Amino acid sequence: MTVPIARVIQAYISEHWGRDFFLYSVIFIMVLLLITSLLLTTGKRTATTMNRAWLVSIAAVFIAYTIQLRSNPEEAVHFVQYGFLSILVYRALTHRITDYGIYFIALLLTTTVGIIDETLQWLTPNRVWGLKDILHNTLAAALALLGVAMGLSPAHISGKPTEKTGQIICRTALVVVILLGASLLNTPQRISWYVDRLPVLKFISANSGLMAEYGYRYDDNETGIFRSRLSPEELEQTDRQRAANAATSLDELPTLDDYREFLRRYTPFNDPFLHEARVHLNRRDYYLTSADKYREHDTAEFLRRMTIAHYENRIMEKYFPETLLKSGFLLPDMTVSQMKEYASPAARYESAVSKTLITRVDERQVLWITLILAGSLIALDRLLASRRKT
């Protein structure tokens, strides 16, 4: 229910209390839950030092991972949401399942909700589908359930999973595999295919947030790391052939204020080359123009912003050279020299542009993995069913 207004809530909290509010809130809740859990074990005769050690260790992992997300602290809220959800799912399942398989089923069901939640976000304007969020949700659920199993050790849950429980595990795992596989195969090409046949879904094409895209990872000593939907050969050929027209399109909406309108016209669906070029340029110009605000009072932030601007410009110079040269986005030599002077060579730069592109596997491999996993789970379910009959 909060998906459509989540960004508004996030912006309000960030403006009035700062983004660190999310970070400190999650840490406070984790500490509060740890204290509550330790008090619960204090009243149990069967509780041991090992139980308490598990609770402290799991809370420490939660807090450490939350701190690791300090650059994007809003994501830490997932830990609280899905940690609580997994425990509620577990409590609901205790009415029917009392063996150790309950923890696996609760984890799989919570993961299913996480995938569906991300799908709803993808269908919502200005929201995106994120595989990383699904992983955060699953990790939160796994840690919370581990805390219940190893920390609280409820006496009414015992014994290895029965064949019936095994079947439930197989079927919930099958749902997760199908949903995740379908999401990872929901590429722009497939979206275009079914949108053309179902015009009622045309609004999806206008959404710049995509479920899954496959591309190429560039690891270059001069530019750092970045990702593109186009191979090196395609990128070079497109830049050479389309430079003049692409530059004209870029110059139609040159300012930072025009950025949203440009991305609405040129999406990853209809023009990945122009889309990527404009995102790199916007990132370069934003950090370049905002760096001066920090020059006097925050040198580290000033250098960070100049570093980002420098490397984004280098990406454009090396991989979009003809388009950049013919456009109005070409920077004066003095500005380029300044960016290079202040850029930090210590840390290897990795561009956030197209960072969600999947580059380690391709679509065919994902399809085969999905089919093999689904087939294996169905076969195991049938085997357990035959054992139950005998």
Mean pLDDT of 245-254: 92
Phi/psi at 282 (5° precision): -65, -40
Write out the two tokens for 347.
Answer: 């840390």
Query: What is the pLDDT at residue 270?
Result: 83
Above 70 in pLDDT, residue 208?
Answer: no
User: What pLDDT is recorded for position 26?
Assistant: 87
Give 207's pLDDT tier (boundaries 50, 70, 90): low
Q: What is the pLDDT of residues 115-156, one digit of tens each?
A: 999 988 888 777 778 888 899 999 999 999 999 999 888 989
Q: What is the mean pLDDT of the chain?
A: 90
- Residues 169, 108: contact at Cβ < 8 Å? yes
Percent of the chain surpassing pLDDT 70: 97
Contact between 46 and 155 (Cβ < 8 Å): yes
For residue 304, how many other CB atoms are within 10 A of its CB? Answer: 18
pLDDT at 1: 74
* Residue length of the chain: 390
Render the burial of 50-80: b for 16+ CB within 10 Å, e for the rest.
Answer: ebbebbeebbeebbebbeebeeebbbbbbbb
Angle at 245 between CA 240 and CA 246, to 5 degrees: 75
Q: Is 283 helix (H, G, I), strand (E, B) or coil?
A: helix
Q: Answer yes or no: are the C-beta atoms of 197 and 190 closer than 8 Å.
A: no
Report the sign of the C-alpha dihedral through residues 150, 154, 155, 160, in that order.
negative
To the nearest whole percent, how much of the chain has pLDDT over 90?
Answer: 59
pLDDT top residue among 43 and 337? 337
What is the model's pLDDT at position 46? 67
What's phi and psi for 116, nearest 5 deg?
Answer: -65, -40
Instruction: Give the distance, in angstroms, between the CA of residue 125 and the centroid of all CA atoms in the same chain.
Output: 17
- Model confidence pLDDT, tens digit, residues 80-120: 899 999 999 999 999 999 999 999 999 999 999 999 999 88
Residue 206 pLDDT greater than 70, yes or no? no
Q: What is the largest CA-CA distance in the chain?
A: 82
pLDDT in tens, 225-249: 999 999 999 999 999 999 999 999 9
CA dihedral for 89, 94, 96, 100, sign (positive or negative): positive
Residues 6+ apart with CB under 8 A from 229: 213, 214, 215, 216, 268, 272, 276, 354, 357
When pLDDT is cut at 50, 70 and 90, the band that residue 205 belongs to is low
Give me the mean pLDDT over the 215-231 stretch.
Answer: 93
Q: Calculate mean pLDDT across residues 258-283.
A: 90
In the DSSP assignment, the letter for residue 257 is G
- Are residues 312 and 283 in contact, defined by beta-carbon separation less than 8 angstroms? yes
Which residues, 6 or more positions from 271, have their beta carbon under 8 angstroms from its beta carbon? none
Which of 203, 227, 201 lies closest to 216, judged by CA? 227
In the predicted model, is pLDDT for residue 51 greater than 70? yes
Contacts of 38 (CB under 8 A, 6+ apart): 52, 55, 56
- Angle value at C-alpha 182, between 177 and 188, nearest 5 degrees: 150
351 and 271 Cβ atoms separated by less than 8 Å: no
pLDDT of residue 288: 95
Mean pLDDT of 197-216: 78
> What confidence tens digit (pLDDT) does each residue in 154-181 have?
989 999 999 999 999 999 999 999 999 9
Residue 196's pLDDT band (boundaries 50, 70, 90)?
confident
Looking at residue 43, its pLDDT comes to 66
pLDDT of residue 374: 97
Dihedral over alpha carbons 165, 170, 171, 175 (to 10 degrees): 140
| Whether the Cβ atoms of residue 281 and residue 288 lie closer than 8 Å to each other | no
Surface-to-core class of residue 219, CB atoms within 10 Å of its CB (0-12 exposed, 13-18 middle, 19+ buried): exposed
Supply the pLDDT for residue 305.
94
Q: What is the pLDDT, as a whole number, of residue 241? A: 95
- Nearest Cα to Cα of residue 311 among 337, 331, 288, 284: 284
Tell me the whole-structure pTM to 2 decimals: 0.80
- The predicted-structure confidence for 285-317, as pLDDT tens digits, reads as follows 999 999 999 988 899 899 999 999 999 999 999
Average pLDDT of the residues in 45-62:
86
